[in-house]
Structures are given as structure tokens and as C-alpha cells.
Amino acid sequence: MYHVSVLLNEAVDSLQVTPGSKYADATFGGGGHSKLILERLGGKGHLYAFDQDEDAEKNAGEPVFSESQAFTFVHSNFRYLKKMLRVEGVRENSMQGILADLGVSSHQLDQPERGFSYRFDAALDMRMDVRESRTAADILNVYGAEQLQKVFGELGEVRNAKTLAAAVLNGRDQKPFKTTGDLLALCEKHFMGDRMRYKSQVFQALRMEVNDELGALEELLKASYDMLAPGGRLAVITFHSLEDRMVKNFLKTGNIAGEMKKDFYGNIDRPWKVITKKAIEPGETEINRNNRARSSKLRVGEKIKKTQ
Ligand SMILES: C[S@@+](CC[C@H](N)C(=O)[O-])C[C@H]1O[C@@H](n2cnc3c(N)ncnc32)[C@H](O)[C@@H]1O
């Protein structure tokens, strides 16, 4: 099994898929959400599916996708959504729905050689797109103490980020970081609180840094607004509190800082109608079936036509 889709029906229902319209799945992965969107399109309209991982691209070879006239796979980072859709001939303000299901797939975590998981000893890689040059080992071997502290503290919410950053600098003076085992040995020495949780926080933080996940999300959010038609919907599933806050702020105010903007007359500018006042979370049945779903949150917004 490549990946079990999270909040599958909730996310696709929220897009209100209408045959004849255009949609994008920014994170194709195993294609679970894409398959349901395509089914609901019934061959009319079009779905553009993005993924930066070449393993995910192979899933687009399944007949349900490759034989569909209504489907196009785009092997690209979703931060280039607008540019890549333009190449496909899609105009701004013309799409009815965009979905993003962030983070990594189970397949990526389960492939030892990708270096995403502390369960296997492998090269410290963690690139979702292997065409990129910077790996997790590069970050550990090159970043300064403050940069590393920021990564561990902000992205990983690690309580002793300063200590861990100093330990990385110390460690690499003796021997550069090469494998997940090298990093794990350091976690074993310095973990605070629950050992497993600590390891997963450190690994997650590095992965988010390697792939510039917050930067890519910000660009995706902005591009989505431009690509959607008024009334079109954006649905985002997050697995990290910082990502969730970015999406929540963006849907509330049109910017990730969450700053309310006012027009010349003092009216608050609201680019989105927030459909999910409270994020949608998976029920107990889904969490029991798929533990990975436990930290997921779905937020949905509908683009409001600007009145000028
Ligand atoms: C959680 S999985 C998506 C699973 C998919 N919704 C399904 O039902 O099978 C996330 C996928 O998004 C891809 N991804 C993450 N960030 C990306 C980005 N910035 N650009 C393109 N793809 C990205 C990953 O490579 C991974 O395959």
C-alpha cells in the first residue's frame, strides 16, 4: 500500500466537484484524493495533479489516470503551481477547486534509503525531490548554531533546541553527519521528555527544512487564490501546528501573518469565505484505521469575488 488517504471524503466533498470544471491536486502521492475527484468529474472537466516526487509520478501511470483524458500529472513542486498551470494553458481565476494534503506519504517514510524515518539506518537524505541538491546531512554539516536552533525549536518544537544545536556543531567537528544513525545517536544523548516523540520531532524539523515546506506552502496559498475563480474552493490538510496556523490566517485575512487589511474606506478586506470555522479533524474510526491521520486538520475556504 503506497499511502492511505487522510480525510478522503471530507476533503473531496468540500471541493464540491462539478463536472466540466477544472481542479488541482497539489499533492498527488498515491493518488487517493485524485481518484475520487476524477470519479466525480465523470470524464468532464480536468484534474491537474502535482507531485515533486518521482515515485509518486509512477502512480500516475495507473490506467485510471493514464487513460483518462481528464487527467494531467505535473512533476513539479507545488510552489510553481501558477507557472506550471499556465504552461498547461490554464488561465488565472478559472479553477473551481484546489486540494493540498501536506507532508510526506507513507511510501516515503517506509523507503529506508530516502532517510525520512528514524526506524531505518540510511543516508540522511530526506529530499522529496531528488533533483534538488541539499540533503538533511548538508544542513547538519553546514548550518550555524542559531540556524539549527531555529530549525529544531520552531519546526520541531524541541525544548532543548539550543543544546541540540550545540551538540550538532560539536559532533560534526569530530565526524560529519552522514546517516540517520549519526543523528539518532545524538538524540539518544540529548532527548528530553518522551524519547520517540523527541526523535520524530527532530526528524520532522529537518525534513521540513530540507524541503522548505513552509516556504512552498506560502507560495501555494498565494498561487491558489490567483488560480481559483470566484466561488472556487481551496482545501488544505495539515499535520503541523505552524502549517495549520498559516492556512487559518491566510483564509481569514489573505496573508499568512493573519493581519487584517482595510480598504480606503476602512472596510475589512476578506478575500475568502471561511467554510470551516473550526478545522475538520478525523473521527475515531479513521484514527483507529490509520494512525497517521491523528494529527490532521482540514481547512477550507471559498474565494470571494473582489468588489472594486
Ligand atoms: C500526504 S502525501 C499525499 C497523499 C495523497 N493525497 C493520497 O491520497 O495518496 C503528500 C505528497 O505530497 C508531495 N509533496 C509534498 N510537498 C510537495 C511540494 N512542495 N510540491 C509537490 N509535491 C509535494 C509528497 O511528495 C507526497 O507524495
Q: Return left, alpha or beta for 233; rule: phi > 0 is left, psi -120 to 50 is alpha, else beta.
A: beta
- Alpha carbon distance 74, 34 (integer Å): 13
39 and 81 share a domain?
Answer: yes
Q: Is the pLDDT of residue 308 over 70?
A: no
Q: What is the CATH number of the domain that holds 187?
A: 1.10.150.170
Last residue of a domain, one of 210, 240, 268: 210
59 and 96 share a domain?
Answer: yes
100 lines ligand 1 (CB under 6 A): no
Nearest CA to ligand 1 atom 24: 104
Q: Based on the structure, what is the number of domains in the chain?
A: 2
Q: Is the dihedral of CA 218, 220, 224, 226 positive or negative?
A: positive
Instruction: Tell me what percent of the residues of the chain surpass a pLDDT of 70.
Output: 99
- Decide if 234 contacts 301 (C-beta within 8 A): yes
Residue 165: in which H helix or E strand, if any?
A: helix 161-174
What is the number of H-type helices and E-type strands within the chain? 14, 7
pLDDT-derived band at 284, boundaries 50, 70, 90: very high
Average pLDDT over residues 28-55: 98
78 and 194 share a domain?
Answer: no
In what side-by-side order are the strands of the sheet with 228-238? 71-75, 46-51, 22-25, 95-101, 228-238, 297-303, 272-274
167 and 227 share a domain?
Answer: no
50 lines ligand 1 (CB under 6 A): yes
Write the single-letter amino acid at 79. Answer: R
Last residue of a domain, one of 210, 229, 262: 210
52 lines ligand 1 (CB under 6 A): yes
Write the single-letter amino acid at 225. Answer: Y
Ligand 1 mean position to 57 CA, how many Å?
Answer: 11
Nearest CA to ligand 1 atom 3: 29
The pick from 34, 51, 54, 286 for probing ligand 1's pocket by mutation, whose C-beta has the most ligand atoms within 8 angstroms, reads 51
Per residue in 189-226, pLDDT tens? 999 999 999 999 999 999 999 999 999 999 999 999 99
Length of the chain: 308
Q: Is the pTM of this model over 0.85?
A: yes
Ligand 1 mean position to 9 CA, how many Å?
Answer: 17
Residue 108: in which H helix or E strand, if any?
A: helix 106-110
Give domain status of residue 154, yes or no. yes
16 and 99 share a domain?
Answer: yes
226 and 298 share a domain?
Answer: yes
165 and 198 share a domain?
Answer: yes
114 lines ligand 1 (CB under 6 A): no
pLDDT-derived band at 264, boundaries 50, 70, 90: confident
- Alpha carbon distance 229, 44 (integer Å): 18
pLDDT-derived band at 62, boundaries 50, 70, 90: very high
Atom of ligand 1 nearest to the CA of 129: 25
What is the structure's pLDDT at 15? 98
Q: Is the pLDDT of residue 307 over 60?
A: no
pLDDT-derived band at 306, boundaries 50, 70, 90: low
3-state secondary structure of 13: helix
- Decide if 262 contacts 238 (C-beta within 8 A): no
33 lines ligand 1 (CB under 6 A): yes
Show the domain range for 243.
8-106+213-303
Contacts 24+ apart (CB under 8 A), 31-37: 31/56, 31/59, 31/60, 31/62, 31/64, 31/65, 32/3, 32/4, 32/5, 32/8, 33/5, 33/8, 33/99, 33/101, 34/65, 34/71, 35/64, 35/65, 36/8, 36/9, 36/12, 37/12, 37/97, 37/99
What are the C-alpha distances in Å from 48 to residues 129, 160, 227?
A: 19, 42, 12
32 lines ligand 1 (CB under 6 A): yes
- Alpha carbon distance 58, 143 (integer Å): 34
Ligand 1 mean position to 307 CA, how many Å?
Answer: 35
Ligand 1 mean position to 78 CA, how many Å?
Answer: 9
What is the structure's pLDDT at 269? 86
What is the structure's pLDDT at 199? 96
Task: Specify the residue for cell string 501573518.
Answer: 257
Last residue of a domain, one of 187, 210, 233: 210
